[in-house]
Chains A and B, each alone.
Chain A
Amino acid sequence: MSTLLIEQILNGLQYGAMLFLLASGLTLIFGIMGVINLTHGSFYMVGAFCAAYAATATGSFAAAVLAALVGAGLYGLVMELVVIRRLYARDHLDQVLATFGMILFTNELVSVVFGRTPPFMDIPSFLTGTVALLPGLSYPVVRLAFILVGAVVAVGLWLLITRTRIGMLIRAGADDRAMVDALGVDIRRLFSLVFALGAVLCGLAGVMTAPLLAVEIGMGERILITTFVVIVVGGVGSVRGAAVGALIVGMIDSLGRAYIPITLYELLPPEIASTLAAGLVSASIYVAMAAILLVRPRGLLPARG
């Protein structure tokens, strides 16, 4: 029982780390420029496809990482310059429609460039195998490595945002864009930078997913919705909120997967339990989000006091 718990907590940490990579960029983009960017998940998909393609072509994991970061980052930058840039002053509805259109476009573009059959990416050889964490608990090395990468990036991002001048401007921009603009900072360039950084982080998340889950068209939308759950739970516009939200959602998802079916089978007849469990497992994070929003309508750690 306790090894299952530890294993699920580690899984939750890994999923949470990946969600944080996506959520931090998305929440900054919303916080600073007020853009609801539905294409954020597409950068993750582009990253995963680039990684899998490069890994298949070269056999090198380093090449896969590079391809994902560059591919997703460049695509994000182009998107910002061509489309997003024109949406700052628009209301949320226009942003939703335009970025919804770009999701359709990106999905099709990726399937034209990489083909409809998704490339398969192996776990790199130096990350294969398991490590014995406790007696009776061995855990895949690759997942541990991804937790570590997620943690390092999270700390790095936290340092960037709290300890550097760029970070100060980003925080100030998220709090009051007009004021930062008035102080003579080129908020558009700052934003392009944040947007590209967000896309690069999506690429990193894509690399971290490619060996573990299926790389496929539409993977971006599924994770996008979860990412929105993360930032809404944590508080829109706040990086601390994104971290807290990512951990909460990661934990609820992985613990729910393990314990909701077990609990229900103990309480209910099997045929009802199996139906209910499948639905509840998938819906658990949405139930949690609804519950949190009902108590704290602006999320746990909103950006503005």
Chain B
Amino acid sequence: MSDSLTHSAAAAAAPRPGPGRRLVVHGPGLAIFAAMPAIAAAAGDPFVVSLFTRFLIYAIAAVALDLVMGYGALISFGHAAFFGLGGYVVGIIAHHAAETGTIFGLATSNSALVVWPVAIGLSALLALIIGALSLRTQGVQFIMITLAFGQMVYFMLVSLEVYGGDDGLLIMERNTLPGLDLSDPTVFYYLCLAVLACWLLLCRRLVGSRFGMVLRGLKQNERRAVNLGFAPLPHRLAAFVISGAGTGLAGVLWANYALYVSPDMAAWSKSGEFMSIVILGGVGTLFGPVIGAAVFLGLEQLLAIWTEHWMLVMGPVLVAVVLFARRGLYGFLVGERSHD
């Protein structure tokens, strides 16, 4: 981090590209996402809507991860734990609703207005615990301790024989929202799009706020920020909790999308995937992870159609992106440095 001062000085000195190129990227991007169900219907391929729903859900998780990774320089390798927990809360409540109608003596509900806040709240609580313990360490140790907590959650889910253990848990139907039929793929797609849009707006407000400035100040130069009178831990912990809640929300949507949850949702490779998506799209940007999610999952899908050995191509593509598009795809497209 010692050279980040000179970095930001250089960024400030370089002529900043106007908002033009950003509009060129955001405008069509937004249009494609908004019109996707109509395009898919015209092309007669409903699978595309399903694929794009996946893009949106992963994008929510990736934006959440970038909040701590890109703006707080906290490389969490355990974020899949929150994704898994969010999903499992949906799955477990649905399981009890189908079996007995009660959970721990309480009446169950299939309403998203009840289930989702519970899932998000529990994810935030887990993030509070993991964050409070992990933030005692820094650097590689932080990467590894978050990984360790992620693995603990993974193994706990594997050992939950009541809820399917290794095999996971099937969910009978999606949660209900008054006035919306979530079982309709198009309606569910637009719901996910709306959630992503709200999440992006919230994160944008957040990183632009005083809180976000302190977070970025801590990332650039911790000693300077501390000497200015800002305590690192509360800011970082708050960012971690918000990020965990957002990732839990993505898990909730995923459980509703796939109608299935399994421990794989919390596996370390899922954390690696989220991280890859963020880096691929552009660390420290809010729209980068969205592009990253679409490109990562889309490429995966395309290559899988083309060849059974798609990972033989996917792997080198990731390496090439690291080596040649240093600011991620978003930086490459928009032509400006990521924020720091």
Residue in chain B with minimal CB distance to A228: B144
A9 at interface, CB cutoff 8 A: no
Do B148 and A286 have beta carbons less than 8 Å apart? yes
Do B147 and A98 have beta carbons less than 8 Å apart? no
Interface residues of B in 265-289 (CB under 8 A from A): 268-269, 272, 275-276, 279-280, 283
Do B276 and A297 have beta carbons less than 8 Å apart? no
Query: Interface 1/0s, chain B 117-159, versus A by CB < 8 A?
Result: 0000000000000000100111011011101110110011011
Of B39-47, B50-58, B237-245, B316-324, the segment with at least 4 beta carbons within 8 Å of chain A is B316-324
Do A101 and B151 have beta carbons less than 8 Å apart? no
Interface residues of A in 41-57 (CB under 8 A from B): none
B167 at interface, CB cutoff 8 A: no
B302 at interface, CB cutoff 8 A: no
Query: Interface 1/0s, chain B 222-260, versus A by CB < 8 A?
Result: 000000000000000000000000000000000000000
Residue in chain B with minimal CB distance to A237: B140
Do A225 and B151 have beta carbons less than 8 Å apart? yes
Residue in chain B with minimal CB distance to A30: B140
Interface size of B by Cβ–Cβ distance < 8 Å?
45
Residues of the A chain whose Cβ atoms lie less than 8 Å from the Cβ of B326: 94
Contact among A225, A229, A278 with B158 in the assembled complex (CB-CB below 8 Å) = A278
* A96-B69 Cα distance, complex, nearest whole Å: 13
Do B144 and A229 have beta carbons less than 8 Å apart? yes
Residues of the A chain whose Cβ atoms lie less than 8 Å from the Cβ of B151: 225, 283, 286
Do A100 and B145 have beta carbons less than 8 Å apart? no
Interface size of A by Cβ–Cβ distance < 8 Å?
49
A70 at interface, CB cutoff 8 A: no
B→A interface (CB under 8 Å)? 69, 75, 133, 136-138, 140-141, 143-145, 147-149, 151-152, 155-156, 158-162, 268-269, 272, 275-276, 279-280, 283, 309-312, 314-319, 321-323, 326
Additional A-B contact list (18), CB under 8 Å, known A108-B315, A294-B133:
A86-B323, A92-B143, A97-B280, A100-B272, A101-B318, A102-B319, A104-B314, A104-B315, A104-B318, A109-B312, A229-B148, A279-B156, A282-B159, A289-B145, A290-B145, A290-B148, A293-B141, A293-B145
